[in-house]
Amino acid sequence: MTSTAQTGLGVPGLEWVMSIQVAIATEDRLGVCTDGQRSNYRILGGHFQGLEMRGEVVAGGADFYLQRSDGVGELDARYSLLSDRGEWINIHNTGLIVLSDTGRELQAQGIWPIPEHQYRCSCSPRFQVAGGRLAWLTRSVMIGKVSYPAADQVAIHCYRIA
């Protein structure tokens, strides 16, 4: 690993932007497709809280999930938020989930969610908003950490790269 001292480059910082709690339906299994096992997880609702914003996750949209042949899962979620001030925020969130060997064994046994230390799930959320107070969301590069507190819940913590 290259350190800051070796490259002379600073390491970017992270600023917390928002946390989103999403309720999802059980999977709609499409089956094996040319690129792997496809499943859709419909968005049922939820809530979010962030920097000077809060509101609800609007029912609709889905995570169009792909389980690749190498065992890595690809997230591809599209859904909307509605702030308590009436502002719409669209999200397109892509990411990867990588399970440990033990995590894969647990999943194969039908156990989900698995303990958080048995997987790594990160994402790259992109936001779409109308101009105004929240327009800064569209001018920021974001990363996120995803966890699964329950079989029907997803937690996403979004950070802006500073």
- The answer to whether 160 and 15 have CB atoms below 8 angstroms apart is yes
User: How many distinct structural domains can be found in the chain?
Assistant: 1
- The answer to whether 75 and 61 have CB atoms below 8 angstroms apart is no
Task: Please state, in angstroms and rounded to a whole number, the distance separating the CA atoms of residues 23 and 119.
Answer: 20
Return the CATH number at 148: 2.40.160.20
Q: Structure pTM?
A: 0.92
User: pLDDT for 83-112, tens place per residue?
Assistant: 999 999 999 999 999 999 999 999 999 999
Give the chain's end-to-end CA distance (angstroms, integer).
21
Q: Is residue 29 part of a domain?
A: yes
Q: What is residue 136's three-state secondary structure?
A: helix
Question: Which helix H or strand E contains 107, and what residues bound it?
Answer: helix 101-108
Residue 132: which domain range? Answer: 12-161
User: pLDDT for 34-57, tens place per residue?
Assistant: 999 999 999 999 999 999 999 999
Q: Is residue 3 part of a domain?
A: no
- Give the up-direction half-sphere exposure of residue 79: CA atoms within 13 A in the CB hemisphere: 31
